[in-house]
Structure 1
Amino acid sequence: MNPSDWLDTGCRPPQRLPGSVDAALAYLAHALGHPLYLRWSLSALKRGCPSLADAKREHPAVFALLLEHDTAIEYWERGRLKVVPEAAAPSATVVLERILRQHRRRFRPSAADAAPDGARLPAVITPDAALLPGGVEAAWLARAGRFANPVALTNTLGVADDAQAVRLFLRERASHSPHTLRAYVTELRRLAAWCTCERLGPFSDLTRQDLMGYRDVLQAPQADATGNVRRAAPATVSRALAAISSLFAWWHRTGYLTVNPAEGLAAGRRARMTWTPVRFLPAAALAHCDAVAGGDAPTDIPSAVWARRRAIWTLYRFAGVRLAELEWHEDLALPHIDVDEARQWTLHVLGKGHRPRAIPLPAACLPALRAYRRAVGLPANPPADERLPLIHSERGRALGVSGLYDEVRAVFALAAMRVPSEDSAMRAALARASTHWLRHGYARTLVVDHRVPLPVAQALLGHASVQTTAAYARADISQLRAFVEGSFPEKA
């Protein structure tokens, strides 16, 4: 493989990896915060430590292996460092490929063929990325259709073709979030592939009838590779149409289009009002997971690792944060915990849209968090001037998003193993669950179980719209019935 064919999309602008395997591994080690591939010998060990006694204390596994072998390889695999003799170690190229696959959300190849149906995500996601899937000529987008505005006085974008107009749209509307950018690029590629197949386009040439036909295609049942006929989920169709509608509405608003053929194509506000979260764990399953996470460490898991896993589970379970909100931001020193004079803890995170948010932590969180801090050599209560990662990796650095996700999934997996064999439904639910299921459960506990006012729940969850928070109130008809019965009691 050629490492320079890969881009680091976690920085702005995206940066190409170094050309050599060793340099690429060094770059990834710096970016991820832990070593990935180290070749050890006694001379190398002596160079990094003042004495052999210090080397034995700082690298005990490496030191023990070098007593029997000339060289040893320390490499990253499955979330931890392993040390083996050089003859038994995988090559540096193999380790590099594994790391890139494990972190495919961040590191992407700079060029990849996409299927004409738009099923694959674009390899490079930047506001200036080429939008077209494989098999579509660049000239298809680099032109203007019948609805493009040729009058410079009213065309505030100052561009004359769809390719430039799309780049400006992505730069303004999606550059703040790689996830939003990825979603927009995916849907625009899908639409471009359909237009090419139907001999339509470019985008500024599509009529309302064309877009309605595309909507019908999205909603129609499709046969997969195995021959099974499946229909796209309503939420998937809604997201696709919302992305397309956003593009045309922005173009019309900025004067690039004379009309907006996508007006009313997506439900927009109505889709938000009818959205209902469905990824919940039953109360019994959550209680079972809490009991597993609160119990003793399994015999095959070190106590320090178990303490960290319990702390991560506790934060996602009782703070309702999104997965990425526990990722460490060095420049902002977030997330961090404040302890007030009453010894109450408040979690500060960087929420969606780069909005900071403060979340009071319940007392149920504190024992697990204090135990974890003591396990890593920190005081039980965070001092006011502490600027350290909230969760550390085994090497003492900040644990990334993938590591956080794996720790929560490990709790779900352990809980599933301890479910009685006859309870197949709970076992299946735990197998599908993720960190966001815990966020849904936190929201439902606030809104449905304890009837917290919607503006308060919205602030705790970090929702941009109170309508999103209100969706949880529609998730349980029994609670709505209790409200109605309490408001209009039966007369004696």
Structure 2
Amino acid sequence: MAERRSSSGKTPPFGTAVTDVADIAIPRGFTTKDFTALRAYVQRIAPAIIARTYYDPDEDPHAATPAAMERYLKAMLDTLVQLALAHGSAALAEHLRASIRQHGQPKLTAVTFRMVTEAAQLAAAAPHAEHPVGAWLRPRLARRLKGEGIATLGELVAFCNRRGPSWWRSIPRIGRGRARAIVSWLRKQQANLQLTVEIDIDSEERDGVPLVADEVVEVVPESYIEGGASWEKKRLTLAPLERLSVPYSLSGADGENRSTAFCYIKANHDLDAVRAYLNRFRDQPKTLRAYTKELERFLLWAVVLRGKALSDLRVDDCEAYKDFLKNPDPRFVGERFARHSPRWRPFAASTNGSASLSAESQRYTVRVLRTAFTWWVDVRYLGGNPWKAVNDPPVIKRERAMQIERALPAALWRKLRGELDARCLDKDAAQRRESKSGVQWRAVRAAILLMGDSGLRREEAANARRENLRPSPYGTLERPVWELTIVGKGQRERTVPVSAATLNALRAHWLDRAQDFDRATEADLQSGPLLGPVVIPWTDASRRRHRAVGQGSEGRQASEVGYTADGLNRLISRMVTELVETMTDLSLGERVQLGGVNAHAFRHTFGTQSVADEVPVDVVQKVLGHASLQTTTIYVQAEKQRVVEEVARYYAGVPAGKVAR
């Protein structure tokens, strides 16, 4: 390995001598091969052999002759010994002095050589965030980091903080032990690097969750934060509601707006009141998640940026928060992380780094907060509701309540179904279980047909279960019909028809899961999610989610866990992207249209196609689960618009799939 040199040809001010444990180098003008060569010299290997083995005489003049090689190694050894005498332990220093008195020079063993190199670290040049990783880490490790785009120590710290405790998983051949050693060294060098390694990086875990997730975090107003070390940037301490604590003076225990009448809830402070309100929605997980997000954002803003308790806020404070929503403080914005991570932020950054909420989202936030404050007044926790005097943000009334432009036209819908059928076929039954690609395509086909033929939302498809799917009593032998009962939006139960093509797709998908879709009798009805992963990813999150699954009396899973709505959406998006890139019979226009499809688009496809085939609008309304017939008529308008567009294309003489200019 050639020695790294600067543009002037001299050895750079920091080299790369390594320790045996942590892959961390000692910057003292010596390279990795210098220390390897010196170790060989201590073990009595001849200088001539060392020169031939570790150096190139053309690039390393000190290796031109055995004598020059020996002089170089002796000088290096003297340098390290002097550093060890000055910075090593008293026992090591005494041992080295005794060896020098007896032999005229230190006689080192493998053990004492290691002690000398470790002591020399104390006199090493301090690392800096701009230093390349190769100056401090072993060459092979540095190359792997550079392969991930990590060139400097500062970028390494940022990478660890951005990825969290599992930062090392994406880097080849860096295991947990080596990652722990690197993070340990980075923590010791935080002051030199003027960077902070997040607290949960390489922290102890229980069931895959860092123990730091159990810690309560006290948030304080911005004005309370002291600079600390000069290199630390002013940073806000933020935490989600379940880990949140605030100082007593900002807790609302003595809030100005607290009601003097008897309170119907047991709430000593604002956090108790917030949790009592959210507890009302414990059986509505989506609503609970949405309201929790809005209330914790407002509470954090009030305490950290406004310096007030929730029960101290007045109308002008509410107006200020309404303005805050238009352009949130950058310190409240970040990438999406788990709620137990210290990198979690109340607002998620978009692709351009902004977190500005749309006018519709701003209005939704104001209405959620107004409703929550109204409830606190009703239960006599607060004396009044300042949000009643705040106007909703102005919102442009959209021409359409739903964006249904992504619905597929009939021709493209037929092409997609045919392509899915083709990719789901295996040459023989034995190949079925071995073809991972076929397994994924069969799962995607079942999901797409369930939404595209029955008009299900992605949450409804993810929660659909086999025990709720049965033959309809209104079907015939010639035209058999199955029915699926689901609980949809607003906790409304409805029953939708299921096509024969969807049933066949579900049977194939269940066979991949080693289950018999049709093994169902009145006494023993097959149960389980209609859609479920065949292979469980080997990650902590996946194992935790599927760990509680027991074994039934016949050896099958007693309570199988299916896809989540987000997991189903990711699977469909990934496979549709592959179709766009690999299908050969698509025009440019069709390729663009299919590329813009998401999971919900197949529900819209059912709406537009069923209306186009003259299915009565009231029937489509019941299948889709719309509360209002007016919502369903949007699909009628969409079909009319498509007819006009197609005829206009015909008038202009533009071939199908082309765009008129």
The structure-2 alpha-carbon separation of the partners of 1:182 and 1:110, relative to structure 1 and needing over 3 Å to count, comes to farther
The structure-2 alpha-carbon separation of the partners of 1:186 and 1:474, relative to structure 1 and needing over 3 Å to count, comes to farther
Deviations 1:221-262 (A, max 9, x none): 877889866742223323322321221121223333332222
Contact 1:326–1:335 under 8 Å retained in 2: no
CA drift at 1:433: 4.1
SS at 1:359 equivalent: strand
2:275 to 164, 167, 187: 167
2:498 to 333, 347, 361: 361
Q: Which residue of 1 aligns with 2:485?
A: 348
Deviations 1:435-463 (A, max 9, x none): 23333444455678857546x55543345
1:418 to 582, 587, 590: 582
1:186 to 293, 301, 312: 293
SS at 1:346 equivalent: strand
Within the alignment, does 1:255 sit opposite 2:413 as a pair?
no
CA distance in 1, matches of 2:484, 2:511: 18
Contact 1:339–1:382 under 8 Å retained in 2: no
CA distance in 2, matches of 1:319, 1:119: 48
The structure-2 alpha-carbon separation of the partners of 1:237 and 1:304, relative to structure 1 and needing over 3 Å to count, comes to same
Q: Which residue of 1 aligns with 2:195?
A: none
Give the length in aligned residue pairs: 374
Within the alignment, does 1:436 sit opposite 2:600 as a pair?
yes
Q: In the alignment, residue 434 of structure 1 is paired with which amino acid? A: N
TM-score (norm 1): 0.59
Q: Which residue of 1 aligns with 2:66?
A: none
CA drift at 1:473: 5.6
Aligned ranges 1:376-391 → 2 under 5 Å: 376=514, 378=516, 383-384=521-522, 385-389=524-528, 390-391=530-531
The structure-2 alpha-carbon separation of the partners of 1:351 and 1:164, relative to structure 1 and needing over 3 Å to count, comes to same
Q: Which residue of 1 aligns with 2:628?
A: 466
Contact 1:349–1:356 under 8 Å retained in 2: yes
Within the alignment, does 1:291 sit opposite 2:418 as a pair?
yes
CA drift at 1:359: 1.1
Q: Which residue of 2 aligns with 1:48?
A: none
Within the alignment, does 1:212 sit opposite 2:319 as a pair?
yes
Q: In the alignment, residue 287 of structure 2 is paired with which amino acid? A: T
Q: Which moved more, 1:316-325 or 1:367-376?
A: 367-376
Q: In the alignment, residue 296 of structure 1 is paired with which amino acid? A: R
The structure-2 alpha-carbon separation of the partners of 1:228 and 1:391, relative to structure 1 and needing over 3 Å to count, comes to closer
Q: Which has the higher strand share?
A: 1
Q: In the alignment, residue 531 of structure 2 is paired with which amino acid? A: I
CA drift at 1:170: 0.7
CA distance in 1, matches of 2:450, 2:236: 35
Contact 1:131–1:188 under 8 Å retained in 2: no
Deviations 1:129-178 (A, max 9, x none): 3556xxx53652342433321111xx433545322221210111x21133
Aligned identity (percent) is 21
SS at 1:360 equivalent: strand
Aligned ranges 1:470-485 → 2 under 5 Å: 472=634, 476=638
Aligned ranges 1:62-461 → 2 under 5 Å: 109-111=213-215, 129-131=242-244, 137=247, 139-152=249-262, 155-157=263-265, 159-172=267-280, 174-220=281-327, 231-263=356-388, 265=390, 276-278=401-403, 280-284=405-409, 286-297=413-424, 301=436, 303-327=438-462, 335-340=468-473, 342=476, 343-352=480-489, 354-372=491-509, 376=514, 378=516, 383-384=521-522, 385-389=524-528, 390-394=530-534, 398=560, 399-401=562-564, 404-418=568-582, 430=594, 433-443=597-607, 445=609, 452-453=616-617, 457-461=620-624
The structure-2 alpha-carbon separation of the partners of 1:378 and 1:197, relative to structure 1 and needing over 3 Å to count, comes to closer
Q: In the alignment, residue 216 of structure 1 is paired with which amino acid? A: D
The structure-2 alpha-carbon separation of the partners of 1:336 and 1:121, relative to structure 1 and needing over 3 Å to count, comes to farther
CA distance in 2, matches of 1:114, 1:160: 17
The structure-2 alpha-carbon separation of the partners of 1:156 and 1:212, relative to structure 1 and needing over 3 Å to count, comes to same
CA drift at 1:406: 4.4
SS at 1:295 equivalent: helix
CA distance in 2, matches of 1:334, 1:271: 44
CA distance in 2, matches of 1:119, 1:250: 30
CA distance in 1, matches of 2:493, 2:403: 27
CA distance in 2, matches of 1:119, 1:475: 50
SS at 1:296 equivalent: helix
TM-score (norm 2): 0.45
Contact 1:221–1:231 under 8 Å retained in 2: yes
CA drift at 1:344: 0.9
Contact 1:281–1:437 under 8 Å retained in 2: yes
Q: In the alignment, residue 418 of structure 1 is paired with which amino acid? A: T
Contact 1:289–1:412 under 8 Å retained in 2: no
CA distance in 2, matches of 1:476, 1:222: 40
The structure-2 alpha-carbon separation of the partners of 1:138 and 1:242, relative to structure 1 and needing over 3 Å to count, comes to farther
Contact 2:471–2:483 under 8 Å retained in 1: yes
SS at 1:315 equivalent: helix
Q: In the alignment, residue 482 of structure 2 is paired with which amino acid? A: W
Coordinate RMSD, CA, aligned: 5.2
Structure 1 gaps of 5+ residues are: 1-87, 98-102, 483-492
CA distance in 2, matches of 1:321, 1:119: 43
Q: Which moved more, 1:336-345 or 1:415-424?
A: 415-424
CA distance in 2, matches of 1:373, 1:437: 25
CA drift at 1:91: 7.6
Aligned ranges 1:46-61 → 2 under 5 Å: none
Deviations 1:96-144 (A, max 9, x none): x9xxxxx999x99445879999999966x7xxx3556xxx536523424
Contact 1:141–1:161 under 8 Å retained in 2: yes
CA drift at 1:358: 1.4
